[in-house]
Structure 1
Amino acid sequence: MAKRVSLVVAAVILLLLALNFSGLFPTTHEVESTGRTMGTTWSVKYVTDESNEEEVLASMKQALVKVNQQMSTYIPDSELMLLNKAPVNEPIAVSPELFRLAEQAMKVSELSGGAYDITAGSLVNLWGFGSGKSFSGQAPAQIDEKAEPAFAKWLESGQVSVAPDPAAIAEALKKTGYKTLILNAKDRTITKTMPVFIDLSSIAKGYGVDEVAHALEAHGITRYMVEVGGEVRLRGKKPGNEPWRIAVREPVLENRIQTVITLNNKGIATSGDYLNYYEVDGVHFSHLIDARTGYPEKHRLASVAVVNDDTGIADAYATMFMVLGEKAGIKLAEEQGIDAYFIYHTDEGFETRTTGNFSSYILDK
Structure 2
Amino acid sequence: MVDAERETPPPPIPERLLLSVARRAMACEFELLFNQFQYPAAADVAHEVLDLIEGLEGKLSVYKPRSDLSQLNRWGGKRLLPLSPDTLRLLQLARDLHRLTGGAFDVTAGALSEVWGFARRQGKMPSEAELATALQTVGTQYLQLDEAAGAAGLQREGVKVNPGGVGKGYALDRAAGRLVAAEINDFLIHGGLSSVVARGDRQHPETGGG
**1:172 counterpart (113, 120, 134):** 134
Deviation at 1:30, TM superposition (A): 4.1
CA gap of 1:112–1:235, structure 2 versus 1, over 3 A, is closer
**1:83 counterpart (72, 78, 82):** 72
Partner of 2:198: 234
Partner of 2:156: 194
Larger relative contact order (CA 8 Å, sep ≥ 6): 2
Per-residue Cα deviation, 1:25-61 (whole angstroms, up to 9, x for no partner) = xxxx742112321111221112354434552232022
Deviation at 1:87, TM superposition (A): 4.3
* Distance in 2 between residues matched to 1:62 and 1:32, nearest whole Å: 16
Partner of 1:62: 51
Q: What TM-score, normalized to structure 2?
A: 0.81
Per-residue Cα deviation, 1:301-344 (whole angstroms, up to 9, x for no partner) = xxxxxxxxxxxxxxxxxxxxxxxxxxxxxxxxxxxxxxxxxxxx
* Distance in 1 between residues matched to 2:42 and 2:100, nearest whole Å: 42
- 8 Å CA contact 2:23–2:29 kept in 1: the answer is yes
CA RMSD of aligned residues (A): 1.9
- 8 Å CA contact 2:34–2:42 kept in 1: the answer is no
**Aligned AA for 1:120?**
A
Secondary structure in 2 matching 1:201: coil
CA gap of 1:211–1:111, structure 2 versus 1, over 3 A, is closer
* Distance in 2 between residues matched to 1:116 and 1:50, nearest whole Å: 38
Secondary structure in 1 matching 2:166: helix
**Aligned AA for 1:65?**
E
Runs of 4+ in 1 over 3 A off after TM superposition: 47-54
Partner of 1:211: 174
Q: What TM-score, normalized to structure 1?
A: 0.48
Per-residue Cα deviation, 1:231-282 (whole angstroms, up to 9, x for no partner) = 111111122333xxxxxxxxxxxxxxxxxxxxxxxxxxxxxxxxxxxxxxxx
- 1:106 pairs with 2:95: yes
* Distance in 1 between residues matched to 2:76 and 2:146, nearest whole Å: 17
Partner of 2:12: none
Q: Give the length in aligned residue pairs.
A: 187
**Aligned AA for 2:29?**
T
CA gap of 1:236–1:81, structure 2 versus 1, over 3 A, is same
Deviation at 1:200, TM superposition (A): 0.5
Deviation at 1:105, TM superposition (A): 1.0
Please give the residue correspondences for 1:334-345 in structure 2 after superposition, counting only pairs within 5 Å: none
* Distance in 2 between residues matched to 1:219 and 1:55, nearest whole Å: 11
Larger Rg: 1
Q: How much identity, in percent, do the aligned residues show?
A: 27
Partner of 1:37: 25
Unaligned ranges ≥5, structure 1: 1-28, 132-157, 243-365
**Aligned AA for 1:122?**
A
* Distance in 2 between residues matched to 1:198 and 1:32, nearest whole Å: 33
Secondary structure in 2 matching 1:73: coil
Unaligned ranges ≥5, structure 2: 1-16
Which has the larger displacement, 43-52 or 118-127?
43-52
Partner of 2:188: 225
